[in-house]
Chains A and B, each alone.
Chain A
Amino acid sequence: MKQKLQILFYVLTVFGVVNMLVSCEKEIKLKTSAPKNAIIVEGHIENGMPPYVLLTKNSPFFGDININDLGAYFISGATITVITDNDSVQLVEYNSAFVQTLPDSVVVAMAAQFGLQIDSAAQFPEISIYTVGLADADFVGQVGKQYNLRIELDGKIITSTTTIPTPVFFDSLWILPHPNPVLADSFYQVYGRLNDPIELGNYYRYFTKADNEPFLISSQSVFDDAFFNGKKFQIFIPKGHPVGTMGSTDFNRAGYWDLNDSICTIKLSMIDKPHYDFWRTLEANRQSNGNPFSSVVYVKSNIQGALGIWGGYGSITGSYVRVP
């Protein structure tokens, strides 16, 4: 993970040097063909947690539209069922009006599932989240099980399948000062020691949380064990960035923890291959923007009948409490 980041960094540096010397940028107008309408599924199920699903629409990239109209992307009125070998549950749609009837703590936790940080139900944005009704609160993900997703929307059937693999966690977590002495007064870095299971084909996604923030992801949030199968090794754990942002482009800042962060909580999730492929291609899609040395990357979905992801997480959470 860190290696890849570094290679990318150096290649970009070289390219940047050449670029700075001579290149010239100019704003242009682009006309591209209108896309076909598509439905995007963003759903997950984690061990000990109920399933969560967002349903959204796509939008033209350039055109006379307000791409910031958050509410306009969300689809309501879908019938969503999550089915496992011996059980099934129909999800309930929670929108900004409905959540006002719920306790603040429930709504804050629900928003945090998607990385949104709010303090009360009143701050819940113009979105719809599908999850279990209060009566089905005992329907939670279990390690080793397969979960099928079925969505009915305007006569269309959308399906997918995922699994919750057995989780593993770091043997230990520790911190080190920022490698640049000048910045050591403001930032620090977190490391963990991971013991990868002996069999090949483990896929990881990690989340970080500083104090009371929601769990957040980095721009490279997944890795696999093709390079270090069965080994015990230390790994740099970059701090995630707020949802919807690309994170800092400053090499001295990106991934480093702030000196004000006193509890560093890490969630390490084991995911299956299709789930891993989705995030891996999605992160490459975000990085390949116009780079003349790479080509476009299409995101690999595991959904039939729509785009997006239905992913199971086998997670373990642990914290490092920093004593100032």
Chain B
Amino acid sequence: MLFLCPLAGYTQDEKIEKFTLSGFLKDAKNGEVLIGANVYVQGNNALGATTNLYGFYSLSLPKGNYQIAFSYLGYNTKIQDIVLEKDTRVNLELSDDSKTLDEVVIVDERKDENVKSTFMGKEELSTDRIKSIPAFMGEVDIIKAIQLMPGVQAAGEGNSGIYVRGGGPDQNLVLLDDAIVYNTGHLFGFFSVFNPDAVKNTTLYKGTMPANYGGRLSSVIDIQMKEGNNKRFEMEGGIGIISSRLTLQGPFKKPKSEKTAKGSFLISGRRTYAFDIAQPFIKKTDFAGTNYYFYDLNIKANYQFSDKDRLYISAYFGRDVFVYNSQKNATKVKIPWGNATATVRYNHLFNDKIFMNMSFVFNDYQFSFTGEQLDFGFKAKSGVRDYNAKVDFDYYINTKHKLKFGMNYTHHRMTPTQASARSGDTDFESNQNKRYSSEFAWYIDHEFDVNEHLKFDFGFRLSMFQHIGPYKSITGDNIIGYDTLTYKRSKPIKTYVGPEPRFSMRYAFGKNNSIKAGAGLNYQYIHLVSNSNSTLPTDIWVQSSSMVKPQMALQYSLGYFKNFKDNMFEASIEVYFKHLWNQIDYSESYVQELNVDQELGYVYGKGKAYGAEFFLKKRSGKLNGWIGYTLSRSDRKFPDLNNGKVFPAKYDRTHDLSINLNYDISKEWSVGATWVYATGNAITLPNELYFIEFGFVTGYGGRNTYRVPAYHRMDFSLTYTPIPKRKPNRRWRSSYNISIYNVYNRKNTYFIYYKTEGSLVSGNLKFTPINVSLFPVIPSFTWNFKF
């Protein structure tokens, strides 16, 4: 019980009479809660607190008079004189517009969060900042912005998949308002499913995760949807070359004067239309009815019942739909796939020190395929469905100690490919059963501010996973015979328990310097083994079972953080080392087959990933942006792959550099540029051939030993936001954005194949290696509006 030991040290502090200052911080413009805002005693940064995901803070101080600063990145800091002689509630609104402030003093914000927090490898990205990054085909993409962070690698050209610190794409926990999003990509991953207009805040953890997160090895991407403006009705949208967006938000009932309403809502939608526009042309061809589109719908509502109780309801629904028709071949195919999530959250303040959040979450990912040709029909579907309940408590004991604890339960239902076919008058059905499981977690996390130099975070998470019935297990083969075991509903079949200690610390010294260290053990019970470079709609999540053991990772990291030029610049160097166990891959001879359990094709091994990350960020000024560089390595060793020898993981990138700069030319014009450089992907190439039935067969050299040429690309954007000259206060505002992807038309390798011509028997067999690149220079234009 290491994480509770330091609590013993605070008893003597308790003898002094203390009171608690607590409340919620909100945005003055729209009433949205501010996440990660700082509240601290002027002149003593060590006495401070940060708002949680719901904008709540709590700060216990000895009785007395204080000047308290309330600050948030990019907003004006408010200073208030507080006489603390009883527990006091202060709910405040911060503004990013100096004109609306009258009674408060404007001072510099507290900008040293980078140096002062204990967690390493944590990045917060506001959607406004993400919108200033040049966008691929004009589609602002949260996940692609995360790719520009050190330690995070893009999965491929134009792709929104990510690899974090040498881990696979299934090792990232992607949460949208607490709901897991299993497939984050539209159109084979070229666009992510998160509509930026509906997203408020994105937090990435790539180092030691706080104990309230778990279930994945590499990272957490926690995305919070906007709550909805609770001051006035607002409309926002945009028209681009790929999609159009529209967001409506506002209070349920218009509040009187400057007050905020008790409740508000947000509805946000996005849809592509390129193929819709082409329909009149497609209609005249053999392919009439063929179409492709995707859409997203985000809905959120919240209501404040009292100062202590608030309810949030949010939902997401998105689909990709591909329809293929060919009259000549009498063929019809329809392939829809996508995610649906729903979250109900209830916040309750027991008192000034104990905050509770209770969530009920439903999420569902489905892929289905329907094909028909004459009297032949084929259907297939697969997916994941979860029901999740959790409760989290924040207990602000005093300025030195803060506890977080809670529990989490998830019921998973995994549907492997279930196929059925009709051929003439015969029907076939696959008998792959759905799999069910229960995942539990209990956690406690203790933040301990020893003094202004030293701060610890001790966390412990206990996870448990159970494969449960109904389930029919079939073993054996047609020689020894088959044995069937049937398990009833909810009957445990296999149980795994994972103790997950987490530890972080910070030592601050000198002027804005700190050293941080962290270590953490993580378990992952559900897996996605994919042959492709990123996630595909057909990917099938597989749960742990008697055969498939949970994946495990132990990560150590150490970092040096420094801010300089009055916190205008943030710099950091982080090194990490990760051990990975029970990593899963397909066997070398794996061929996907309908109706055959995927897990029979798995092989297991271990891995190592280590690297150094360098980050320099300019936070303010007309020119702002960052440079991130990562030097890293990620290896795997599987007894059944590559003759048991170590090989580079698919996610191995020696060098990875991202530069993102933004320059505000004037209040109306701004330019942005991004340059990325990365070592080429490790791939397996053929090195031998032989003949069977006079046709050639390919043999391969070492696994992932060939490197494709280095990847680099520059993007550029120009944004014009005119300020109406006659009516500067007009609510209708437009903004025009031109983005250019791959400015210097670099032909990056997407994949390599060999073109085959002729045959051995005719004596003219020929192979030609071909490099395929995907996106040339692509300009795009987007018009955004707000009312």
Chain A residues engaging chain B, CB cutoff 8 angstroms:
2-4, 6-7, 10-11, 13-15, 18-19, 22-30, 32-35, 38, 40, 42, 56-62, 67-68, 70, 73, 114-116, 125, 179-182, 199-202, 217, 224, 226-228, 231-236, 242-246, 251-252, 273, 277, 280-282, 284-286, 289-300, 307-309
Contacts and interface: CB of A to CB of B under 8 A. Distances in A.
A201 B590 contact: no
A35 B699 contact: yes
Nearest to A245: B759
Contact of A62 (B531, B769, B773): B769
A267 B770 CA distance: 38
Interface in B401-426: 419, 421, 423-424, 426
A224 B428 CA distance: 14
Contacts of B156: 292
Interface of B: 156, 187-188, 322, 324, 328-330, 333, 335, 369, 371, 373-374, 376, 378, 380, 419, 421, 423-424, 426, 428, 430, 477-478, 482, 531-533, 536, 538, 586, 588-591, 593-596, 684-702, 705-706, 747, 750-754, 756, 759-765, 767-776
B181 to A, nearest CB: 21
Contacts of B756: 246, 289
B776 A24 contact: yes
B549 to A, nearest CB: 22
Contacts of B423: 233-235
Nearest to B430: A227
A270 B426 CA distance: 22
B380 to A, nearest CB: 8
A297 B595 contact: no
Contacts of A67: 689, 760, 765, 767
Given A61-B686, A244-B765, 17 more contacts: A10-B333, A15-B188, A26-B747, A35-B701, A56-B691, A59-B690, A114-B693, A180-B329, A228-B428, A231-B426, A243-B759, A280-B591, A281-B591, A286-B698, A292-B533, A294-B531, A296-B686
A35 to B, nearest CB: 3
Contact of A25 (B187, B333, B482, B771): B771
Contacts of A34: 687
B517 to A, nearest CB: 38
Given A29-B769, A227-B421, A244 B531 contact: no
A32 B754 CA distance: 13
Contacts of B373: 6, 179
Contacts of B761: 70, 116, 125, 242-244
A106 B685 CA distance: 42
A11, A226, A242 interface centre (most CB from chain B within 10 Å): A226
A244 B759 contact: yes
14 contacts: A10-B324, A10-B369, A22-B776, A23-B772, A28-B771, A38-B690, A57-B690, A60-B687, A180-B329, A251-B329, A281-B589, A293-B531, A293-B532, A297-B591
B714 to A, nearest CB: 18
Contacts of B424: 233-234
A29, A182, A233, A280 interface centre (most CB from chain B within 10 Å): A233
A282 B589 CA distance: 9
A100 to B, nearest CB: 20
Contacts of B763: 68, 70
Contacts of B696: 244, 286
A15 B750 CA distance: 13
B315 to A, nearest CB: 29
B770 to A, nearest CB: 5
Contacts of B775: 22
A298 B538 CA distance: 22
A323 to B, nearest CB: 23
Given A59-B688, A280-B591, A27 B770 contact: yes
Nearest to B533: A292
Contacts of A308: 692
A13 B771 CA distance: 20
A201 B770 contact: no
A63 to B, nearest CB: 9
Contacts, number: 249
B426 A27 contact: no
Which 7 interchain pairs have the tightest Cβ spacing?
A290-B753, A201-B478, A35-B688, A244-B694, A244-B759, A298-B588, A292-B751
B764 A68 contact: yes
Contacts of B188: 15, 18
Contact of B769 (A27, A182, A200): A27
Contacts of A116: 694, 761
A273 B553 CA distance: 37
Given A38-B690, A73-B691, A234-B424, A297 B590 contact: yes
Contacts of B328: 180-182
Contacts of B759: 242-245
A116 to B, nearest CB: 7
B421 to A, nearest CB: 6
Given A273-B477, A289-B756, A299-B697, A32 B687 contact: yes
B420 to A, nearest CB: 10
A66 to B, nearest CB: 9
Given A2-B376, A25-B770, A290-B754, A10 B586 contact: no
Contact of A309 (B376, B538, B692, B694): B692
A304 to B, nearest CB: 16
Nearest to B286: A180
A13, A277, A290 interface centre (most CB from chain B within 10 Å): A290
Contacts of A291: 751, 753
B770 A232 contact: no
B685 A277 contact: no
Nearest to B477: A201
Given A22-B774, A35-B687, A67-B765, A114 B694 contact: yes
Contacts of B430: 227
Contacts of B538: 11
Contacts of B701: 32-33, 35
Contacts of A179: 329-330, 373-374
Contacts of B591: 280-281, 284, 297
Nearest to A300: B589
B692 A226 contact: no
A29, A245, A309 interface centre (most CB from chain B within 10 Å): A245
Contact of A3 (B419, B692, B702): B419
A153 to B, nearest CB: 16
B694 A243 contact: yes
A305 B98 CA distance: 80
A114 to B, nearest CB: 7
A71 to B, nearest CB: 11
Nearest to A289: B753
Given A179-B374, A242-B761, A58 B688 contact: yes
A144 to B, nearest CB: 14
Given A27-B769, A67-B760, A234-B424, A115 B693 contact: yes
A7 B380 CA distance: 10
Contacts of A284: 591
Contacts of B686: 32, 61, 296
A226 B695 contact: no
A35 B767 CA distance: 17
A68 B760 contact: yes
A293 B535 CA distance: 10
Contacts of A40: 690-692
Contact of B770 (A28, A35, A245): A28
B589 A23 contact: no
B771 A61 contact: no
A294 B532 contact: yes
B697 A286 contact: yes
A86 to B, nearest CB: 22
A14 B562 CA distance: 49
Given A14-B322, A29-B769, A68-B764, A61 B687 contact: yes
A32 B691 CA distance: 19
B478 A199 contact: yes
Contact of A293 (B536, B702, B705): B536
